[in-house]
């Protein structure tokens, strides 16, 4: 039971609460707080070689709203597939990333990629001659499962990244039901023998080039997995605004069928090299900002967590799209970690949101035009403290006000450096329970004024601006 108390547990609100009044996604911690995971894919390498991060990089990620990281594993450094072998120094590197995350309050999800092995074909994986493919793949995972079984800051495992069909003569539906889901079930069963309380993230088949439904290259999952502690982790790299909500509505339907909350495992259409110098036009920064804002709004209205690819500098670009060289890196300088933000997307990624709430999140949305976060919750103080990421340094350089039910108002003036000040109070409210953490750019609420109470919290720009 120790692991159960340490790890996050999946929680579908639809199972317990009225869906008309509460978002059904997000996770719960051991205290029952409602959590919204958000963060970045942290690569261990790129096309130029190894990537290294330090504590300052993680501090920057936190100040961009990160509370979760997805570390991409290289199968070639963990397995006995041709060209691969288990590398002890690679495991030490993974330990470093987990510890850096832990030191900064960031949970870790490991995602397995097939990089680093020789000519591994998906067709061979699915054929699984003499059970060798599946066994070797699961043995690679066992190295990770055993190493982090008692690590509370390792949330779980994204077990198969973007599985493919390629040249197999089979429908995506049959491939999913006859091959992918049985493989998921087998991997989950083996994982839960080692630690049953870790979360398992699952994806759908990545369709072949040119095969899309509603501009979505990920095939639909139509059958249940029937295992506990599963999170549905689809990717969305949607380039057309009109399809974003439609794609997410389909994922929502799959989530219901899987009985698993959604955590978007990767998102954000790649940035073209020309975009860094083009403000308007087909590939301009204004277009990207509009696309990312729409995606963010759909995510937040659904209450899903989301992981942005990639927390990297721009040492290399890929050239597989019609618009020319492109990248998922959120920084434009040519270093591995990167520091020069692509502000036209990072300000959207780093928008204010409720990270963890002692109670139940009913709804939240950040209005980019007004720079206003609107959050509705039901308080439950026995679950501990709450954290709301605000990002004052980028969204409220002129300061911000906190308006709670229109009768309790506090504000932060960055010129005075005295923390939060009170403008308006109630007899139940204790201003000392509200703490502004400038280092992490978060509002920490030790205790809500009243328990089991509906609260509307607004974060708005300026001082006493209401």
Helix 88-103, helix 55-62: angle, nearest 10:
40
Average pLDDT over residues 280-297: 95
pLDDT digits (tens, 9 = 90+) for 98-107: 999 999 999 9
pLDDT band at 1 (very low <50, low <70, confident <90, very high): very low
Q: Tell me the two tokens of residue 384.
A: 């501990």
Dihedral sign, Cα of residue 248, residue 254, residue 256, residue 262: negative
Output the six-digit token pair for 249: 């509505």
Q: pLDDT tens, 201-219?
A: 999 999 999 999 999 999 9
Rounded CA separation 61/136 (Å) = 34
Q: Decide if 268 contacts 345 (C-beta within 8 A).
A: yes
Looking at the chain, the domain(s) classified CATH 3.20.20.80 span 36-350
* Whole-number pLDDT of residue 10: 38
CB 252 within 8 A of CB 302: yes
Cβ contacts of 214 within 8 Å, gap of 6 or more: 243, 246, 247, 250
205 three-class SS: coil
Model confidence pLDDT, tens digit, residues 306-329? 999 999 999 999 999 999 999 999
SS3 188: helix
pLDDT at residue 350 greater than cutoff 80: yes
Those residues with Cβ within 8 angstroms of residue 134's Cβ, 6 or more apart along the chain or in another chain? 125, 128, 183, 186
Instruction: Indicate if the pLDDT at residue 18 is higher than 90.
Output: no
Residue pair 267/295 in contact by the 8 Å Cβ criterion: yes
Q: What is the CA radius of gyration of the chain?
A: 22
- At residue 465, the pLDDT reads 52
What is the pLDDT, as a whole number, of residue 14? 31
Positive or negative: CA dihedral 335, 338, 339, 345? positive
Residues 6+ apart with CB under 8 A from 74: 44, 45, 90, 113, 115, 116
The CATH number that domain 362-461 falls under is 2.60.40
pLDDT tens for residues 64-84?
999 999 999 999 999 999 999
Residues of the chain with CATH 2.60.40: 362-461
Q: Which CATH superfamily includes the segment(s) 36-350? A: Glycosidases (3.20.20.80)
Residue 466, pLDDT above cutoff 60: no
pLDDT in the model for residue 22: 59
pLDDT at 5: 39
How many whole angstroms separate alpha carbon 147 and alpha carbon 141?
Answer: 10
pTM for the full predicted model: 0.94
The token pair that represents 266 in the structure block: 């990767």
On the question of pLDDT at 460 being above 90, the answer is yes
């Amino acid at each position: 039971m120790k692991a159960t108390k340490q790890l996050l547990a999946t929680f579908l609100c639809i199972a317990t609460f009225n869906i008309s009044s509460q978002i059904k996604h997000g996770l719960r911690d051991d205290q029952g707080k409602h959590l919204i995971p958000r963060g970045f894919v942290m690569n261990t390498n790129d096309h130029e070689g190894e990537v290294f991060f330090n504590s300052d990089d993680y501090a920057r990620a936190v100040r961009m709203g990160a509370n979760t990281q997805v570390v991409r594993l290289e199968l070639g450094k963990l397995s006995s597939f041709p060209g691969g072998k288990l590398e002890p120094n690679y495991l030490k590197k993974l330990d470093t990333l987990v510890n850096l995350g832990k030191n900064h309050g960031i949970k870790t999800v490991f995602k397995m990629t097939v990089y680093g092995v020789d000519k591994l074909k998906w067709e061979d994986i699915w054929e699984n001659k003499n059970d060798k493919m599946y066994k070797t793949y699961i043995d690679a995972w066992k190295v990770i499962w055993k190493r982090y079984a008692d690590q509370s800051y390792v949330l779980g495992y994204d077990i198969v990244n973007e599985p493919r069909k390629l040249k197999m003569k089979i429908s995506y539906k049959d491939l999913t039901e006859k091959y992918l889901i049985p493989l998921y079930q087998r991997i989950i069963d083996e994982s839960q023998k080692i630690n049953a309380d870790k979360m398992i993230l699952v994806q759908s088949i990545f369709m072949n080039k040119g095969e899309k439904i509603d501009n979505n290259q990920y095939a639909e999952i139509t059958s249940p997995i029937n295992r506990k502690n599963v999170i549905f982790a689809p990717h969305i790299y949607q380039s057309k605004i009109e399809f974003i909500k439609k794609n997410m509505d389909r994922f929502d339907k799959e989530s219901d069928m899987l009985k698993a909350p959604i955590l978007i495992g990767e998102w954000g259409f790649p940035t073209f090299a020309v975009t860094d110098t083009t403000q308007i036009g087909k590939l301009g920064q204004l277009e990207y900002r509009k696309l990312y804002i729409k995606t963010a709004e759909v995510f937040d209205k659904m209450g899903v967590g989301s992981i942005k690819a990639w927390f990297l500098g721009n040492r290399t670009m890929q050239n597989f799209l019609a618009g020319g060289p492109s990248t998922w890196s959120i920084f434009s300088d040519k270093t591995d970690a990167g520091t020069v933000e692509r502000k036209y997307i990072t300000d959207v990624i780093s928008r204010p949101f409720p990270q963890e709430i002692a109670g139940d999140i009913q709804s939240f949305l950040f209005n980019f035009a007004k720079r206003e976060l609107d959050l509705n919750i039901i308080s439950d103080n026995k679950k501990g403290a709450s954290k709301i990421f605000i990002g004052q340094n980028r969204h409220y350089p002129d300061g911000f006000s906190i308006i709670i039910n229109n009768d309790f108002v506090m504000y932060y003036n960055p010129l005075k450096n005295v923390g939060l000040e009170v403008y308006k109070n109630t007899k139940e409210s204790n201003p000392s329970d509200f703490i502004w953490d400038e280092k992490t750019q978060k509002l920490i609420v030790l205790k809500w004024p009243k328990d089991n109470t509906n609260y509307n919290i607004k974060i708005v720009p300026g001082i006493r601006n209401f």
